[in-house]
Every structure is written in C-alpha cells, then in structure tokens.
Amino acid sequence: MLDSWLSDRSRTFSSSGIRKVFDLGAKLENPINLSIGQPDFDMPEGAHKAAFDAIQAGKSSYTPTQGMKPLIDRLQAEVDAKYNDPDRKLFVTSGTSGGLLLAALAFVNPGDEVILFDPYFVMYESLTKMLGAVPVCIDTYPNYDFDVQKVADAITPKTKMIIFNSPCNPTGHVATREEVESIAKLAAEKNILLLSDEIYKNFGDGGFVSPAEFNKDVIVLDGFSKSHGMPGWRVGYAHGPSKLIQEMTKFQQYTFVCAPHVAQYCALAALDIDMSEKFEFYRKKRDMLIDGLSDLYDLGNPKGAFYMFPKVPWGTGTTFVEKAITKYKLLIIPGNVFSRKDQCFRLSYAASVETIERGIDALRKLAKDPD
C-alpha cells in the first residue's frame, strides 16, 4: 500500500551509489577511505570566527532570498571585474547543488533533452529524470575529452540545456581552452542554454577556463564547499544574464528561501583568506597517486578537482570495488554510479598522505588479484 503513495518521479532514479559505499564503510574498522567527495581540510579559522561572531550577534533570521547584501556586493564585484558585462548578475544559493536544482526548475520542461558528458556528477542525470526530462549522454571515453562534434551531433529540436563541468567530477579532466570555446559558441549558435558547474575551478594545474568568457548567456554555478572546506554550510552562488537569474531567484523563494544566514557570514570572511597552499597540497597528493599507480592503471588525464577515474585492470567496476571493500577495506566508488559504463572507479585524493599511501599499496595488490 505504501508504494502506491510514491510519485512517478520517485521511481525514475534510485539512491546514490556513493551513499551505499558510505554505508559499507561504516561497518569497517580503520578503512582506507578514498571515496570522499569533500575536502579533508576544515574551513579556515577566519570563517570559524565569523560564524561565532554572527551567532553571538543573533544572525539567525532569514536573509533576502538573493543573499545578504555584503556577500552579494563582494561576489558581484569579482564577477564584474572578470566578465565586464553589466547584465551579468548574481545571487547566493543554498549550495551549488541548490543552484543546479533551481536552474533545472526554471529552465527545463518535461520532455526536454539535457546533454550530459559521460562520466558525470551523479546529480545531473537524476535531476534531469526527476523533472521528466531526458538525459542525453555524450561518451567521453577513453580520455574524457569534450568533443564539440559529438555535442553537435546529439542536438535535436528538443535539446534545452547542456550541463558542462570542468574540472570534472569524477574524472578530474580539465577542458582545454579550445574545447570550452567551441562548446560555448555552439550553444550560442544553436540557442541552447549552457550551464557551467565550476565548483572545482580552484583545484588543478591552472588551466581553468569558463565558457562564460565566450558566451554571455552561460549560467555559472560556484560555491564555497570545496574551495574553503565548507560543504555542510551550504553556500553557493549563480551568475548569468539578469533575466535568467531573476527566474532562478523566484524559485528559491519557494524552495530553499535563502542560504543559511550564519553561513553567509562565513563565506564573506572566507573570501579574504588565501587557500592556495591547500590547492597546491592537493596537486602533490594527485601526483603521489600518479607516481604510485600509473604503471598498473590507466588513470585518464587527472589535472583538476580532487578525483581520478581509473580503468579497472580486471573485471567490471562493480566487481572490482566489491573486492576492494571486502578484502582490502578500501573505499572507492564504482564507475557505473557516474556513467552508463561499468569499467572504471572513482578515486578521491581528498585524504591524508597516510591514507593515500595505504591506498596505493592496496590498489597495487588489488590490480594483481583478479581471482
């Protein structure tokens, strides 16, 4: 009887495979956890102090839906300086995932087609299905490159949106300037909305380029969860053409209402803190994994975010990960959580050096243990 109460949309997707791995990990003693999708550093002390001060000052009310003015002004100034576009406006969202939901609600109709690049962040496909739209996946294997011709070939009269993510979760791929420009210009030519998820832009080798540099109508999503170790505080932001941002803000009024008030003070303080040392440390941890595993695994081309998406040396992604967890206490995510294919696994280096060293040892043994 209870099943009869479920909405049709609840039947279009299942619980995240990442959560299932977390549940398995909770049963293990001292696991090697390379599955985490959040930074392993805490938010900076200045942001802690801002939270404490805001709590002491009673900042527990709603803010304006678009965000509190000091934070809006600061972020808008950065956007203005970068894009020099008087019509590019900004508002504060309840996390970058909150911004993604608002964009989907504001711009995607049932039956529309949404182009995704496979492998993709798990929310992209599920959210598309949740709204009754159709995910159209562009295969980026084996190098995870963004091929504009494949995108052009996938466009139909029903195509409404392209979701672009670079640096990419789960592959760590960073699009080249040529890839970004060609896709941005194709979206403009075909009158298709391009949504750019830039939450990992600070993690990488310095090659990040936003498609908004080439297409003034791009919606950009960003936030503080990854760059400042604030995933639980739920502060993100979106910027784009003023009319589109107004529509997203309207949907926020009836969903999230606003981002958490105290957390917005944390974000404002975080903007004044140099995090470059943390980003450099992540590059070093990535290089540890490349040096330790590249002779046994095809790692792709992980230049950004804090992930890589190696091809399994034997079996399927699912069977490989099952053995990793049950025999080696190694927590990694099977590739089919992020993809229509099951031949890879996601490896996160948002972990301590000690954990990464243990992970390298386990993965080297696992590569030679197919039975």
pLDDT tens for the 371 residues of the chain, in order: 677 778 887 877 766 556 666 666 667 888 999 998 899 999 999 999 999 999 999 999 999 999 999 999 999 999 999 999 999 999 999 999 999 999 999 999 999 999 999 999 999 999 999 999 999 999 999 999 999 999 999 999 999 999 999 999 999 999 999 999 999 999 999 999 999 999 999 999 888 999 999 999 999 999 999 999 999 999 999 999 999 999 999 999 999 999 999 999 999 999 999 999 999 999 999 999 999 999 999 999 899 999 999 999 999 999 999 999 989 999 999 999 999 999 999 999 999 999 999 999 999 999 998 97
- Phi/psi at 155 (nearest 5 deg)? -75, 135
Q: Domain-by-domain residue ranges, the chain?
A: 2-43+275-367, 45-270
CATH of region 2-43+275-367, choose from 1.20.1250.20, 3.40.50.720, 3.40.1160.10, 3.90.1150.10: 3.90.1150.10
Cα–Cα dist 264/250, whole Å: 19
Q: Rounded CA gap, 321 and 170, in Å?
A: 15
CA–CA gap between residue 146 and residue 236 (Å, rounded): 26
Which residue do the tokens 């004044």 mark? 272
**How many Å apart are CA 110 and CA 130, to the nearest integer?**
9
Architecture of the domain delimited by 45-270 = 3-Layer(aba) Sandwich (3.40)
The angle subtended at Cα 201 by Cα 354 and Cα 229, nearest 5°, is: 50
Q: Which residues of 29-59 are buried (b: 16+ CB within 10 A; e: fewer)?
A: eebbbbbbbebbeebbeebeebbeebeeeeb
Q: Find the Cα–Cα–Cα–Cα dihedral 115, 173, 244, 73, rounded to 10°.
A: 170
Helix or strand or coil: residue 44? coil
Q: Could you tell me if 256 and 118 are in contact, meaning their C-beta atoms sit under 8 angstroms apart? A: no
Q: Which two tokens stand for residue 162?
A: 């392209």
What's the pLDDT at 206?
Answer: 82
Q: Is 19 helix (H, G, I), strand (E, B) or coil?
A: helix
Cα angle vertex 279, ends 276, 281, to 5°? 110
Task: With CA atoms as reference, report the closest residue to 196 among 65, 103, 79, 89.
Answer: 103
Establish how many alpha carbons lie within 13 A of residue 226's alpha carbon, considering only the half-sphere containing its beta carbon. Answer: 27
- Burial of residue 25, with CB atoms counted within 10 A of its CB: 0-12 exposed, 13-18 middle, 19 or more buried: middle
